[in-house]
Structure 1
C-alpha cells in the first residue's frame, strides 16, 4: 500500500540550497507562521542543518524536502503565478502592459526588446536550475538511503524525476540548447555544456517514462497537489507532441483521457480546486489563500495599473463562446467611458477564509487537444474532429467545420488559444512549434525578429561558465 500523503510543512518551510554545492546537502529550513497549517505534524530538525544522510533516512523529512521544491516552484520561476503566464503572455498576443516607459522589466517582453542581461530571463534560468539541483539532491539521497522502504523510494524518486524533466522541457522550449543536469557534483555542474534540444528531449522523455513507472496510479495527496502517474503521463504526451511523435503522443494523451473521462461540463467550475478535469495543481501557501494568478490578472477599476488582456485575444473568441463570458471580465473606468478586460479564470484575489482555487498546472482539456493534433497528423480526421468538438461543445459552440489537415491544425491552434490562454506560456510554445510566430507576431510587434524564437542565455551564466557559449543567435 502506498504511504499516505501528510499535509505537513510544505506551505510554511522552504529550502535555501548552497547551489554551488558540497558533498553534504546543506538545507537551511526557515519556519514561517504555522497557524494556517492543517494537520500539521511537527518535525524535530536538529540545529536546522541536516546532512543528506540524516534527511533521507526518514520519510516524513524527505517528504518535507520534496514539498519544499513545490513551494519553490509555485512562488518563483517558470510555472509560478507570475512566471511564464505573464512574461510569455506579454511576449505574444495575449496581454498588454500598462507601465510602459517606466523601465520595468516586463516592458521588454511587450516590446520584444529582451536583452541577455534581462532580470526576468536570469530568474527563469536560475530558479529552474536551482529547483533541478534540489530534486537531484533528493534523488541522490533517496537512492542511498537504507531506511526508506522501496515503496517510499519509488514515490520520491518518481516525483523528483518528473520535476526534473518538466523543468528541462520548459527550459528547452525557451532557450533551445540547454544543459541537462542530472547530478549534484559541483565540479561537474560548474563546467556543463549545452546539448542540442533534440538530445535534451531524449533525456526529458526517458525521465518521464521512468517517473510513470515509479509513481502510483492513485493521487496520494487526495487534492492532486503531488505528482502521480497521470501527471507524468500528461507531460509525456506534451513531450511527444513537441517532438512530433504523433503515435506516441496520441496514445499517451488517450491514456490520460481514459483515466479522467469527460471534461468538466461547467466552465464556472474548471478552475475550482475540486474541478474534475484538473490533473495537477499547486496548493496556496496558507489556508484561505487562493492563487497568484488571481492576484496578478484581476483588477477592479480601469485603466489597468499593470497588465490586461489584449484586444486581440478578446476578439479571438467566436460569438457565443461561453469561455469569453465565464473566463474574461470587462472593467470600466470610473466615468464608464473606457473598458478593459482581464483573464478571469481564477476569480479570487485574496484570502477567502477557506481556499477555493488552487493554481492549476495541468488539466484535461490540453490532453484532448494533444490527441486531436496527433490524430490529425495521423490521418484520423473523425477522431481529431471528435476531440476538437469535445472542447468546443463544452464552450457552447457548434462542431468544427475543419476537414483537411491544415484546417484541423488551424482549428486546434484556435482552440488552444481560447482554451489555454494565460496558462504557463502555452500560446508562445504553440505559435513557435506550429511555425506561426513570425506570421502572427511580426504583424503586431514592431520589434519582432526571427531571433526572438529563443530567449538569450543570461550573461552572468556565460561569464561563470564559458562552456555554455555560444550565446543564442542575435543577442
Structure 2
C-alpha cells in the first residue's frame, strides 16, 4: 500500500508541473522526501514511475523517438489528416514555435527531468537507505536525466538544465550553451558509470545498468571528437560476455535476446509495443506513417532487412511500405521496445575506429550487420570517407524508426544538410527545433528564440 501511495504522490508532482514546465509549484499534499524515500522499496517504486514515464511519453518512447525524427528527416512520410497535431508540419519541415507536438515533446522531457531530480534529492536525504543502495538509485536517476537532456540538446541546442526541484529557481532559468550542456552530460554520465553495476536489476533488461551509461558517455565523447575515449567505452560493451551478437535476423526484436542492452516494457502484460500500433496499416492507404520511398530505395534486393523488417501494402496501383520490426498486435508475450542494442555499439565503434584511421579493425564491426543481412562484406582497400559513408548508410538500414537514429547520425557527422536533396523545405536552420512559444512566454530568460523561427 505504501508503494502505491508513493507512486500516486510522484504522479501528482508531475501533473502539477504539466502546465508550467519549469515553474513547478509545491503540491499542497506533498509529503516530506524523507518519508517518500524511507526504504529501498519505495525508492525503487519511484524509479519504476520514472521508467513508466519514459515508456509512456518521452524522447525515447516508441511513438516519439522513431516517428518524429524519422519523419523530420527522410525515413518516414506522414499521411495523417489531423491539422491540429503539428505532425504534418514536422514532416514537411515547416514547424513553428506554436507546434503542439514540439511543445509536448519538450514538456514531457522536462516533467521526467523534474522527477529524476526529485528521486536524487529524496534519496540523498534519506537516513534509512544504505549507502550502496543510495549510490545505485541516484545513478539510475542521473542516467535517465542525462538521456533526456541529451535529446533536448540535440534538438533544441542551448537549453535550460534544472538540476533540482527548486521551483523558484527553475521558473526563471536561462538557457545553457550547448557546449556546456555536453560538458555537464559528460561529467554526469561518468558519475553514473561509477555508481551503477554491470549486473542488471531485472533479468529482462528493462532497468539500465552501467553499460547503458557507458554507451551514452561514448556518444558524448563522439560529439566532442574524443575518439579514443569513445573507443575504450564501446569496447567495454562489445567485449562483455553478457552481450552476444544476434545472428538470426528474425530474432532481433524479441525481448529475450542477449544483444539487448536496454528495453522498455509495455504498461500492461500482453500490450503491444507502441511501435506496432503506430506503424501498422493493411489493405488501405496509410493514415499515419509509412516508410519513405527514399528509404526503401536504399535497400538492395538481397538485403534481408527489407524482407524481414518492412511489409509492402498494395492498394490498386499504389504500394507503400510499413515498418514491421515488431510483430505482435495482440497478446504480446515476447516483444518490448528496445532502446539500445549491441548493433548500435558495433556501428558506433566502427565509426570511431574509422575516425582514427583504424580502417581494417572498423570493417569487422560494420560487416557484422551487413553479413547478417546477407550483404557482402566490405574489404580493403577502402578510403576513410568511403567507409564513413557506408557506416552512415548501414545505420540507416539497421535502425530506421528506432530512437531517432537518422537525425542523430546525420547531425553527429555534420551532414544534416544532406536532407536538402530529399526534403524540399529543408533549410540550414532546421538543424534545431524552435523552443515552444508558451515556454518563452512563461520565462523570458529562455529568449532569444532559435534562429530562423
**Root-mean-square deviation (Å):** 1.9
In the alignment, what sits opposite 1:421?
A: 400
Aligned 8 A contact 1:308 1:341 in 2: yes
In the alignment, what sits opposite 1:411?
A: 390
Aligned 8 A contact 2:410 2:416 in 1: yes
In the alignment, what sits opposite 1:374?
A: 352
Deviation at 1:432, TM superposition (A): 2.1
Other structure's SS at 2:194 match: helix
TM-score, with structure 2 as normaliser: 0.93
1:286-435 matches, within 5 Å, as: 286-333=268-315, 335=316, 337-350=317-330, 352=331, 355-401=333-379, 403-435=382-414
Unaligned runs of 5+ in 2: 18-22
2:75 to 94, 103, 110: 94
1:104-128 deviations in whole A, cap 9, x for unaligned? 4110011111000111111111111
Does 2:436 align with 1:458? yes
In the alignment, what sits opposite 2:20?
A: none
Deviation at 1:263, TM superposition (A): 1.4
Deviation at 1:22, TM superposition (A): 5.4
Matched residues in 1 for 2:239 and 2:281: separation? 38
Matched residues in 1 for 2:249 and 2:353: separation? 25
1:358-393 deviations in whole A, cap 9, x for unaligned? 011011111011111100011111111111111211
Deviation at 1:59, TM superposition (A): 1.4
Does 2:168 align with 1:162? no
Matched residues in 2 for 1:326 and 1:178: separation? 39
Does 2:417 align with 1:438? yes
Q: Quick one: structure 1 residues 188 and 109, their matched pair in 2 at CA, closer, same or farther if it must change by over 3 Å?
A: same
Matched residues in 1 for 2:91 and 2:275: separation? 19
| Richer in helix (by share) | 2
1:271 to 229, 253, 263: 253
Matched residues in 1 for 2:82 and 2:174: separation? 37
176-185 or 234-243, which deviates more: 234-243
Deviation at 1:444, TM superposition (A): 2.5
Matched residues in 2 for 1:141 and 1:198: separation? 29
1:86-235 matches, within 5 Å, as: 86-99=67-80, 102=83, 104-235=85-216
Other structure's SS at 2:239 match: helix
Q: Quick one: structure 1 residues 380 and 291, their matched pair in 2 at CA, closer, same or farther if it must change by over 3 Å?
A: same
Other structure's SS at 1:255 match: helix
Q: Quick one: structure 1 residues 9 and 434, their matched pair in 2 at CA, closer, same or farther if it must change by over 3 Å?
A: farther
Matched residues in 2 for 1:207 and 1:451: separation? 29
Matched residues in 1 for 2:84 and 2:298: separation? 30
Matched residues in 1 for 2:244 and 2:360: separation? 18
Matched residues in 1 for 2:78 and 2:31: separation? 44
1:58-83 deviations in whole A, cap 9, x for unaligned? 21111111110111111112111111
Q: Quick one: structure 1 residues 50 and 98, their matched pair in 2 at CA, closer, same or farther if it must change by over 3 Å?
A: same
Matched residues in 2 for 1:269 and 1:359: separation? 14
Deviation at 1:426, TM superposition (A): 0.8
Deviation at 1:53, TM superposition (A): 1.8
Matched residues in 2 for 1:348 and 1:330: separation? 17
In the alignment, what sits opposite 1:38?
A: none
Does 2:451 align with 1:473? yes
1:182-231 deviations in whole A, cap 9, x for unaligned? 11111111111111111101111111111111111100111101111111
1:43-122 matches, within 5 Å, as: 50-99=31-80, 102=83, 104-122=85-103
1:256-267 matches, within 5 Å, as: 256-259=237-240, 260-267=242-249
TM-score, with structure 1 as normaliser: 0.89
Unaligned runs of 5+ in 1: 1-7, 28-48
Aligned 8 A contact 2:206 2:262 in 1: yes
Q: Which runs of 4+ in 1 moved over 2 A?
A: 18-23, 99-104
Other structure's SS at 1:15 match: helix
Matched residues in 1 for 2:368 and 2:279: separation? 27
Deviation at 1:338, TM superposition (A): 2.5
Matched residues in 1 for 2:321 and 2:150: separation? 31
In the alignment, what sits opposite 1:46?
A: none
Aligned 8 A contact 1:302 1:339 in 2: no
Aligned 8 A contact 1:280 1:360 in 2: yes
Q: Quick one: structure 1 residues 60 and 325, their matched pair in 2 at CA, closer, same or farther if it must change by over 3 Å?
A: same
Deviation at 1:246, TM superposition (A): 0.6
